[in-house]
Structures are given as C-alpha cells and as structure tokens.
Amino acid sequence: MAAPRDIVFQTLRFEEPDVCPYYIWVDADMVEPLARHFGADQFIGPPGGAATTAGSYTVLTEIKAQPVSDDGSRFVDEYGVEYRRGAALHVERPALPEPSLSGYRFPDLSTDPHFDGLEEWLDLHAERFRIVQLGMLFFERSWGMRGMENLLMDMHEHPAFLDELMAGLADTCLGVIDRLLRDFGDRIDAIGLSDDYGGQHNLLISPEHWRRFIKPHLRRMYARIRDAGKFVYMHSCGHVLPIIPDLIEVGGNMLQPLQPEAMDVFEVKRRFGRDLCLMGGISTQHTLPRGTPQQVRDEVRECRRRLGEGGGYVMAPAKPILPGVPLENAVALIDSFLHQQ
C-alpha cells in the first residue's frame, strides 16, 4: 500500500485513491478515554495536550506569535495584543487602540525561537502529508490589533489605515513563509493560514470588504507558496461559500474544515470539487455530540462516497472530537475511518 503522504498527493491530483485519506484531531480531554479504548500508541501529541490519531494521513503544526508576558489567565504576545484565556481567546487590550501605525513596529516572526522543534517534527512525520499553518497571523490578527468593533468601523471610516495595517501583517507572514521555504521547504508539503472568515450563516464581513482588504494580500502570500511548489492550505470556519471562487482564483488548494452546519458540503463539492481539495465535512455540532453511533457511521459513509468521488477529499470531522461527545460516538467515528467500507 502507498504511504499516507502519497495517497494525499493522489487525491490532490483529483484521482480517486483506493482508500480515502483522513485526519482526526482529538481534544486534550478526550485523548485519555479514547486511548483506553484504542491504546495510547494510537494517539500522537504532547502529554496532556490535543492529539491526532496515529493513522491520520495528514499532520499539522503552527507557527505563531509567542507570549512576552503571561500571568496564567492573561498574556501579551509579540504584537502587543493582550488576550484573556477561556473557552476562546478574548482580546482584553488591542495593540492599536487608535487607527494609526505611528510608532508601531511589526514583530519579526522569522527568528529561530518560532521554529523550535519544527525540524524534528517534520522528520518524525516524514510518511505523512505535512502542513505548516500560520496561526492567527493575518485576518484573525487584524482584529486582535484593533478589536473587532474597531476593525469593522475601520473598513468604513479609515480604509487607508486598514490598507496599511493589512499590508504590514501580510509582510510579516511573508517573512515566516520565506523562512519556512528556505530552511524546511524540502520537507513541507503545504503551507497555510488560519483565518476564520465565516460565521454560522454568513461571512463575518461583506464579500466586497473581503475582496477589498484581504484578497490582494492572500494573492501575494499564496503565490509565494505555490511558486515554491507547495500546496496552499486554507483554514476558515463557518460559511465561506461566497468567497470560495476567490480563494481558488488566488491560488488556494485545500479548504478546511468544511462545516456542514454552515454550508451544504455537497454543494461545495458539486461546484468546486474539481478545483479545490476539501477537508472535513463531518458534523461536530450535531451528529457527533447528539446522534447515535449508527448515525455517525452513516454520515462518514455518505461523506466518503459523495465528497470523495473523483478524489479531492481528505475525510475529517469539521472540528476536533470535543468533550461532551459520547465515547461510543467517538469510537464509531474512528472505527469508520479505520475500517472503510
């Protein structure tokens, strides 16, 4: 049987492999009960942290800004944003309370500490398709810099400032991308951005504003990645249907997590499945926490059949297996991935 990495390359060429490649991400609180069922050696990750299943065909790690101060409940990172920890990060104090970059200097994230352990990680997972993601460094960083309400107002009241801010953030990302390509490019298969553009039913901003402030910079970053012969991986939660053609146009290759609660995933496949590799698609808001094991198995089978037709699909739950998911449902999901029928 071909190596997992080769099977992912096959589906990226829109060839239908004999087995559907998959990825399973497990929340830290669910690792122990699942490890008791499947065995601890079936989960890869740091002790006490989130994990992927050992059989996953893809693996992912992040490059992100590091804390410069941290009291346990709050931290300030290299951009000068103060975050409060919780179920989700909350911007306690933005880096730019006013719409001005006067006196502000963007951090350099291309230095050695940001890549600590990456070489070992890439070598450890040589058999898998390796994705390096820039975590919260572009659009998600922009609302950290200004606060979400201020950012939305900037689109109307301070567009020239916002152009300058987004250009600076993109330049910082390009510094990271260039370092990844220069020093680790022979072992990286895809580089991408973690940028949530969608809410449950709509984009967070209008398509027009997305195209005005975000799209030109994605084009620059994606071109840098593709010119080096790497795939472009795009993470955006939520409803992003209106901008999928734009993401393809500027060079995107893989879209994750494809939430069925936010979009009709089969419509996405029908419209874009010959141009974009889809990753995800299995419900983590409804079926996994609220369905029966048989409903989980049925949904996995349907996604594999319809989304995997003709290649271009990496099977995955839309989100990690989260606390609150019945153990029998989590087991049914993993078993369905392991024993594809």
The 3-class SS string of the chain reads: CCCHHHHHHHHHCCCCCCCCCECCEECHHHHHHHHHHHCHHHEECCCCCCEEECCCCEEEEEECCCEEEECCCEEEECCCCEEECCCCCEEEECCCCCCCCCCCCCCCCCCHHHHCCHHHHHHHCCCCEEEEEEECCCHHHHHHHHCHHHHHHHHHHCHHHHHHHHHHHHHHHHHHHHHHHHHHCCCCCEEEEECCCECCCCECCCHHHHHHHCHHHHHHHHHHHHHCCCEEEEECCCCCHHHHHHHHHCCCCEEECCCCCCCCHHHHHHHHCCCCEEEEEECCCCHHHHCCHHHHHHHHHHHHHHHCCCCCEEEEECCCECCCCCHHHHHHHHHHHHCCC
Task: Please give the model's pTM, rounded to 2 decimal places.
Answer: 0.96
pLDDT in tens, 296-309: 999 999 999 999 99
pLDDT band for 88, please (50, 70, 90 cuts): confident
Q: Does domain 4-65+107-338 have CATH number 3.40.1370.10?
A: no
pLDDT in tens, 28-56: 999 999 999 999 999 999 888 999 999 99
Sorted by where each begins, the domain ranges of the chain are 4-65+107-338
Look at residue 341 in the predicted model and tell me its pLDDT. 65
Look at residue 67 in the predicted model and tell me its pLDDT. 96
Look at residue 292 in the predicted model and tell me its pLDDT. 98
CB-hemisphere CA count at 13 Å for 286?
9
pLDDT in tens, 232-266: 999 999 999 999 999 999 999 999 999 999 999 99
Q: What mean pLDDT comes out for the span 209-233?
A: 98
pLDDT band for 215, please (50, 70, 90 cuts): very high
What percentage of the chain exceeds 70 in pLDDT?
Answer: 100
